[in-house]
Structure 1
Amino acid sequence: MALRLLLDSADPSAWAEWLPSGLFRGVTTNPTLLRRAAQPCNLEHLAGLTARALELGVQELHLQAWGTDLLACGRALAKLAPGRIWVKLPVTRAGAAAAGALIAEGCPITFTACYEPAQVLLASALGADYIAPYLGRISDQGRDGHAELTRMQRIVETLNREDPDGPAAAPLRLLVASLRSPSDLARLAAEGLDTFTISPAIAEALFAVEPTLAAAAQFERDAAGT
């Protein structure tokens, strides 16, 4: 599968800065990111944010459902831009119940807050498009986050493998979240992971390679004959 990058931000100014670059397929958000960006977490405001994201050309906008009725909230979010909204749900019993109903209605789903390899099985069984493991937060627990995500990827590859005697399984993808540095991207990509949501800070860091910047500056000086 081809590389997919999504921008992990609820800040429309960050969207306007990075989405025109062509690097990002879309945007992922959640109530925590909305709070940090001083963006209200309500349907009316999310409708406006959705319109802005569509203006900037997103193919996918991942919005997280909240509240006591995740199904109703998920349905309302999906209606903001059918076919462009992925409803995010936590890997809980309530989240799974809402996901099952939404998937049956044709709504694409991203499971979030994944910490354990076994949770990948739940996402696959329900037919979700994505499940988002939290690399940095897994490592914060004293575990080897890279090894855990590599294990999850092997599970995904096995579950997605085409059955020679039947149709292919749903193409579940790991959507790696909670990355802390560009080196996390490279290390996991070498293990076959190909879908990441990264913060604007990580995006900036990908271009902040000092030898590359120095070489580019030297090219300009040489072109000017100075």
Structure 2
Amino acid sequence: MNLRLYLDTADVTAWETWLPVGIFYGVTSNPLLLERAHLPCTVESLTQLASKAFELGAKEVQLQTWGDTKQTLVGTGKALAAIDPRVVVKVPITQLGTEAAAALIAAGVRVTLTAVYGVPQILIAAALGADYAAPYLGRINDAGGNGREDLAQMQRALDGVQSSTRILTASIRDVEDMAYLATQGLDTFTFSPQIAEALFSNRQTAAATAAFEGAAKTMGKNGAY
């Protein structure tokens, strides 16, 4: 599967609403999303959370490690990876985080380097052989950058060095950004339930569907299912 869509939330109620739709490859989370969902940032809590996501049909769950030392980041990351082979461990793309990510990858753990803001940072992920690199589209724009062009450049850089690292576009605030980036070769996106709603919100589609249903009711009066 080339296109991968993820639901970016730790809210299980949102998972129950959106995962059955069938378009999502998995879910992504981080300590801030856990805080918003009023969930503890512990391995035990994330074990239960991942189990629920897989029960609802997720093929992959991305969970973020934490700690202020390499040893802690690696230890927690290994504990998260041990939850299930379908777990990918997210690590911030700092120097310390990259050292921890390198150790995790050497131990066979799949890794996403997260909090990517600059185009050159994508080379760190490529050099490390990370499965994913997660740039924050909306926040790049907030900082005065051109998120669309920066992410397109990141993809060109990965293509240029023939890297298998996927750009996991995060901080998406407009479905049109996803559509544009898809034309630039990006194929992996994580977004909130609000963006999921916007993806399905189209007045013309709603009107056409209502017309179909009206015709079906009219023409089905003399028949039975």
Flag whether TM exceeds 0.5 (same fold).
Answer: yes
SS in 1 for 2:63: strand
Other-structure match for 1:18: 18
Structure 1 alignment gaps of length 5 or more? 161-168
User: d(CA) in 1 for partners of 2:10 and 2:112?
Assistant: 17
- 1:154-209 Cα offsets, whole Å, 9 max, x none, are 0011122xxxxxxxx5x111000000011111111111111100111111111110
Q: Which amino acid aligns with 1:195?
A: T
- 1:98-134 Cα offsets, whole Å, 9 max, x none, are 1111101110000000001111111111110000000
Q: Please give the residue correspondences for 1:154-173 in structure 2 after superposition, counting only pairs within 5 Å.
A: 154-160=156-162, 169=163, 171-173=164-166
Q: Which amino acid aligns with 2:4?
A: R
Other-structure match for 1:164: none
Determine whether 1:199 maps to 2:201.
no
Q: Which amino acid aligns with 2:213?
A: E
SS in 2 for 1:196: strand
Determine whether 1:209 maps to 2:202.
yes
User: d(CA) in 1 for partners of 2:80 and 2:128?
Assistant: 20
Other-structure match for 1:163: none
Deviation at 1:153, TM superposition (A): 0.7
Task: Give the structure-2-normalised TM-score.
Answer: 0.93
Q: Aligned to 1:189, which of 182, 185, 191?
A: 182
Deviation at 1:54, TM superposition (A): 1.6
SS in 2 for 1:175: strand
Other-structure match for 1:2: 2
Deviation at 1:57, TM superposition (A): 2.1
User: d(CA) in 2 for partners of 1:54 and 1:190?
Assistant: 30
SS in 2 for 1:112: strand
Other-structure match for 2:60: 60
Q: In the comparison of the two structures, how many residue pairs are matched? A: 216
Q: Which amino acid aligns with 2:174?
A: S
Determine whether 1:70 maps to 2:63.
no
Structure 2 alignment gaps of length 5 or more? 220-225
Q: Aligned to 1:177, which of 149, 170, 176?
A: 170
- After TM superposition, the runs of 4+ consecutive aligned structure 1 residues lying more than 2 A away are none
Deviation at 1:14, TM superposition (A): 1.0
Structure number with larger C-alpha Rg: 2
User: d(CA) in 1 for partners of 2:10 and 2:125?
Assistant: 25
Q: Aligned to 1:131, which of 133, 139, 143?
A: 133
SS in 1 for 2:161: helix
Deviation at 1:13, TM superposition (A): 1.1
